[in-house]
Structure 1
Amino acid sequence: MNMRQQLEQYKPYNPQEEKDQKIILRYMDTFDNLFTRENEFAHFTASAWLVNEEHTKVLMAYHNIYNSWSWVGGHADGDMDLLYVALKEAKEETGLENVRPISEEIYSIEILGVPAHVKKGKHVATHVHLNVTYLLEASESELTRIKPDENSDIGWFELERAIEVSTEPEMKVVYQKLNEKLGVHMI
């Protein structure tokens, strides 16, 4: 099933996801380059809500650009398999080797505003990420390592604490949603 079909079949969790789903699908009808950064207005990213085996903690990275504890993930960069992208980015950003999806289905969707910033010496204009999140799992006992060009620390946080340590107000709302959904998935 291609990404368009996955997004069409995705059942939104709340009004934010309902609205974002409609916009993302409309963008897919409008632009043919959403899976690359060539589209400087909007492009796909994949994120991971990376939990421990007990689903009581989440692994966060201290991201250098945003100066905040954050989930892991990255740009599709031409890859239309966003689960693969989420897994690859989770491994690259944390050093973990044994990361697995709890489900191959989309966990959540978000359109995220990205303020202008400098990356690798180049100006990046304000744009949006059409983000697809996957619920992944790893063992707390596995060693982690930072990715110095992207983050400066990695740590496991109790679910509520993960929200508290983020300094990005808009992301706190996303993380709260992800935690709520985790509770729903545990029933």
Structure 2
Amino acid sequence: MTETAWEALAPDDPRVAPRPDDRDLARQQVAAAVLPAALDGVRDRVLALCDGPDDPLDRRSLPDHLTASAVVVAPGRGALLLRHRKLGRWFQPGGHVDGDGNLLAAACREAAEETGLAGLRPVLPAVDLDVHDVAYPDGSFHVHHDLRFLLLARADAVVAHNDESTGATWVTGDADLDAVDADASTRRLVHRGLAVARELGE
């Protein structure tokens, strides 16, 4: 297996600029994600959504649409999780792409809004992909096809989460993940993000 050429970008890199309605770029980013073989079927499902008749970038395309999220990693701190106000569970920052075909840009935007962290350095390609059902307390139901990126934060990063979350915590391994009762998907992403950050020397 060849070693992945991870690339940490500057926060103002042109590749982090929004690309409204660019379904082709979204598809390219899904196809380029570096995933274990066990997720090949998940990738196939998300690519089928990208190629389908409905707009995958529009949250009004129900029940299935694209979302983007990020595992934020800081040296000596670990990976950042936020306690979702509506769902009451601990997750990485992320959300709907709202028409942005640059899923990396959407992940960066959501992370900045939800954590208050500036100067996050995004890494290409994406590190994880997940399809999951989301049932909200109001009875609404969505299927999120979530492309996940690694964002690198400074060691002295101070989190100022917005009102979408009720708390923030840094996790470094299974004991921390057990403490917040993280689900299997979140655990996989955290482990993946920490491993890639180590490969990058962060």
Q: Is TM (by shorter chain) over 0.5? A: yes
Return the offset for 1:47: 0.8
Q: Residue 33 of structure 2: which of 4, 10, 29 is its match?
A: 10
For 1:71 and 1:182, the matched residues in 2 are separated by 11
Distance 1:88 1:162 in 2: 26
Cross-structure match for 1:21: 43
- Percent identity, please: 25
2:192 and 2:110 mapped to 1: Cα distance?
22
Counterpart contact for 1:58–1:162, Cα < 8 Å: no
CA contact (8 A) 1:100 1:136 kept: yes
Q: List aligned pairs for 1:15-164, cutoff 5 A.
A: 15=38, 17-54=39-76, 57-101=78-122, 103-118=123-138, 124=140, 126-148=141-163, 150-164=164-178
Q: How many residues align?
A: 175
How big is the shift at 1:77?
A: 0.7
Q: CA distance change for structure 1 residues 180 and 70 in 2, over 3 Å: closer, same or farther? A: closer
Instruction: Kindly report the root-mean-square deviation, in angstroms, between the aligned alpha carbons of the 2 structures.
Output: 2.1
TM-score (norm 2): 0.77
Inter-CA distance 96–38: structure 2 relative to 1 (3 Å threshold): same
Superposition misfits of 4+ residues, deviation over 4 angstroms: none
Post-superposition offset of 1:184: 4.8
Secondary structure of the 1:83 match is: helix
Unaligned runs of 5+ in 2: 1-23
1:145 alignment partner AA: A
How big is the shift at 1:2? 1.4
Unaligned runs of 5+ in 1: none
Asked if 2 retains the 8 angstrom alpha-carbon contact of 1:60 and 1:162, the reply is no
**Partners in 1 of 2:191 and 2:110 — Cα distance?**
24
* Matches of 2:177 and 2:129, distance apart in 1: 18
Contact 2:65 2:144 in 1 (8 A): yes
